[in-house]
Amino acid sequence: MPRFERPGPTYSLDDARSRLRSSLHRLAPVSIPLDDALGAVLAEPVIAADDIPSFANAAMDGYAVRAADTSVAPSVLRVVGRVLAGHPSSRPLDAGEAMVITTGAPLPEGADSVCMIEHAVLDGDDVVLEEVVKKGQHVRYPGEDIRRGSLVFEVGTELRPAHIGVLASLGVGGVAVFPKARVGVFSTGDELRSDPGPLEPGQIRDSNRHLLLALVRRAGGEPIDLGTLKDNETEIQRAVEAAVTTCDVVITSGGVSVGVADQMKTVLGRLSGGSLQWMEVAIKPAKPFGFATVGAAGVPVLCVPGNPVSALVSFEILVRGALRFMMGHGVSERTTLPAIAAEDLPRRRDGKVHLIRVIVEANEDGLLARPVVGQGSHQLHATALANGFAILPDGDGAEAGTQVPVLLLDPEDLPAAEVFR
C-alpha cells in the first residue's frame, strides 16, 4: 500500500507568514517614466528641487492691492492694469492703485494682498473695495505647499494619482521604484484539461491557473502563464528550472497535500538547497502550503492547494502579502474591519481559524456580513458571490448581531449605504 505522509508541521497564520517573509527579498529598483508609475512603490526618496508654488500668486479672482490702502472701508483705488495667469505685470503697483488679477496669476511687485471680486465694485477707472483687506489675504506664498530641499515622499510610498500630480509639479519625469513582480503560474495534475472540449471521465478543467493569474494582476504583479503540467516528476522539475530563470516568483497549484501522486514536494526538495518548508497552516480552508527558493537568484516558489477556494484563500492570506512585500509595499496584508454578523456563523472547535465567505454591505450603522450558501473548498461559484472573509477564531463561532472581523477582498466595490439623498 502507498504510504501517506502529513504535509509538514502545523503553524499559526502569523508564524506561516513570518516564515515565508523571512525567505523573501525586495526586487531590485528600476527607473520608469512618471506616467507609468501609478501603483508602484518608491525605491528612493524624492527631494524637492523647487518651492511649490515658486512665486507669490493670487488665490482668488479679484484685485491686487496694498493692504495699507484699504485700512478704512470702503476705499477707492485707481485700476492701473490687469494680471493674468502666466503673464506677470510689466510694472509695480504703487500706493493708491489696484490691478485686476486672476487666480494663479503672479502678484505684482508692491502688492501684498488680494481683494475678492465679490467684495469690489468697478466704478469707471476706479474700484470701490467694500472690505478692509488684511496683508497676505488670498495670497499663496512661495514654498507654502512644498519647500525646496524638503523630503516630498519617502521610500516605500505607494504612488497614487495625487502623488503623480505632485511629482509632475516638481518637474519629475521619472522615478526609481520597485518593479512589478513577474509571476509565473502553472497548475499540476493528471486530471486537468486546459482546452474547452468535452471532458473524459475523471477530468476537470483547469480553473486555478486562470484564477491565480487574475489574482496576481489584481495584486499589482505581472502574471506569466506557464500552462498545465502532468503529475510527472521529470516534467515538473524541468518546468520549475525553466521558470526560475525568467520569473521573479513562481506559483504552483496542486500537489501540496498528502496524495501519493503529489510530486512537487520531491522536486522542490531536490532543487531548493534545503530551503523547502512544507507545512499545514492552522486555517480553514487552505491548510496545506509550501514554499522554497530555487536557483542562483533565490526565486521563491510558492505552492498553493488544488481545491479552487483553497487556492484563492491561500493566495489572499499568504501569497498576496509576499508579492506585495517583494514589490516594496510596507503594509502588504489586507486590513480587517469590524462588521456585524447578519445571521449565526457556527463552527466547530478544531484549532484552526475559519475563513467564512461573506457578502459585506454598508449601512448607517456600519458593516453587515452575511454568509454565502456553499462554504466547501470546491465551491468556487459561491465564493465568487462573496466580497470578503469573516474571520472566526477557534471556538463555537459568532451569533447573529455580534461583531466579527472581516477581510474585504475588493474594498473599492463595497456596496455603500444610501446616505446622500
Q: Is the pLDDT of residue 336 over 60?
A: yes
Is 191 a domain residue? yes
Is 420 a domain residue? no
- Could you write out the DSSP letters of every residue in 174-238? EEEEEPPPEEEEEEE-TTEE-SSSPPPTT-EE--HHHHHHHHHHHTT-EEEEEEEE-S-HHHHHH
Is 298 a domain residue? yes
Claim to verify: residue 274 and residue 156 sit in the same structural domain: no
Q: Is the pLDDT of residue 5 over 60?
A: no
Q: Is 201 exposed, middle or buried (0-12, 13-18, 19+ CB in 10 A)?
A: exposed
Q: What is the CATH number of the domain that holds 358?
A: 2.40.340.10
**CA 132, CA 103: separation in Å to the nearest integer?**
20
Is 39 a domain residue? no
Q: Is the pLDDT of residue 44 over 90?
A: yes
Domain termination residue (choose one: 296, 326, 356)? 326
Q: What is the CATH number of the domain that holds 160?
A: 3.90.105.10
Q: What is the CATH number of the domain that holds 321?
A: 3.40.980.10
pTM, entire model: 0.87
**CA 227, CA 273: separation in Å to the nearest integer?**
25
Claim to verify: residue 234 and residue 317 sit in the same structural domain: yes
Claim to verify: residue 157 and residue 283 sit in the same structural domain: no
Q: What is the mean pLDDT of residues 268-279?
A: 94
Closest CA to 72 of 122, 132, 137, 134: 132
Is 418 a domain residue? no
Q: Is the pLDDT of residue 270 over 90?
A: yes
Q: Is the pLDDT of residue 3 over 90?
A: no
Domain termination residue (choose one: 274, 303, 326)? 326
Q: Is the pLDDT of residue 257 over 60?
A: yes
Confidence of residue 259 (pLDDT cuts 50, 70, 90): low
Confidence at residue 289, expressed as pLDDT on a 0 to 100 scale: 95
Domain termination residue (choose one: 90, 121, 140)? 140
Confidence of residue 420 (pLDDT cuts 50, 70, 90): very low
Claim to verify: residue 168 and residue 205 sit in the same structural domain: no
Is 5 a domain residue? no
Indicate the pairing of strand 192-193 with strand 204-205: parallel
Claim to verify: residue 67 and residue 99 sit in the same structural domain: yes
Q: Is the pLDDT of residue 247 over 50?
A: yes
Claim to verify: residue 278 and residue 357 sit in the same structural domain: no
The number of distinct structural domains making up the chain is 4
Claim to verify: residue 186 and residue 321 sit in the same structural domain: yes
Claim to verify: residue 310 and residue 231 sit in the same structural domain: yes
Cell numbers representing residue 269 in the block: 526538495
Q: Is the pLDDT of residue 216 over 90?
A: yes
Domain that holds residue 159: 44-52+146-178
* Least confident interval from 116-120, 149-153, 406-410: 406-410
Claim to verify: residue 296 and residue 217 sit in the same structural domain: yes
Claim to verify: residue 24 and residue 95 sit in the same structural domain: no
Q: Is the pLDDT of residue 296 over 50?
A: yes
Q: Is the pLDDT of residue 416 over 70?
A: no
Cell numbers representing residue 66 in the block: 496694498
Confidence of residue 204 (pLDDT cuts 50, 70, 90): confident
Is 84 a domain residue? yes
Q: In a 3-state reduction of DSSP, which class is residue 122?
A: strand
Claim to verify: residue 93 and residue 154 sit in the same structural domain: no
**CA 107, CA 115: separation in Å to the nearest integer?**
12
Q: What is the mean pLDDT of residues 199-204?
A: 88
Claim to verify: residue 154 and residue 119 sit in the same structural domain: no
Residue type, 241: E
- Under 8 Å CB-to-CB from 314, ≥6 apart: which residues? 286, 289, 304, 305
Could you tell me which residues are beta bridge partners of residue 361? 368
Is 110 a domain residue? yes
Cell numbers representing residue 6 in the block: 502529513
- To the nearest whole number, what is the mean pLDDT of the chain? 93
- Could you write out the DSSP letters of every residue in 19-76? HHHHT--PPPPEEEEGGG-TT-EESS-EE-SS-BSSS-EESSSEEEE-GGGGSSSSEE
| Selected residue with higher pLDDT from 416 and 305 | 305
Confidence of residue 223 (pLDDT cuts 50, 70, 90): very high
**CA 266, CA 68: separation in Å to the nearest integer?**
85
- The answer to whether 408 and 360 have CB atoms below 8 angstroms apart is yes
Confidence of residue 2 (pLDDT cuts 50, 70, 90): very low
Percent of the chain scoring above 90 in pLDDT: 83
Q: In a 3-state reduction of DSSP, which class is residue 390?
A: strand
**CA 308, CA 378: separation in Å to the nearest integer?**
6
Could you tell me which residues are beta bridge partners of residue 41? 158, 178
Q: Is the pLDDT of residue 1 over 60?
A: no
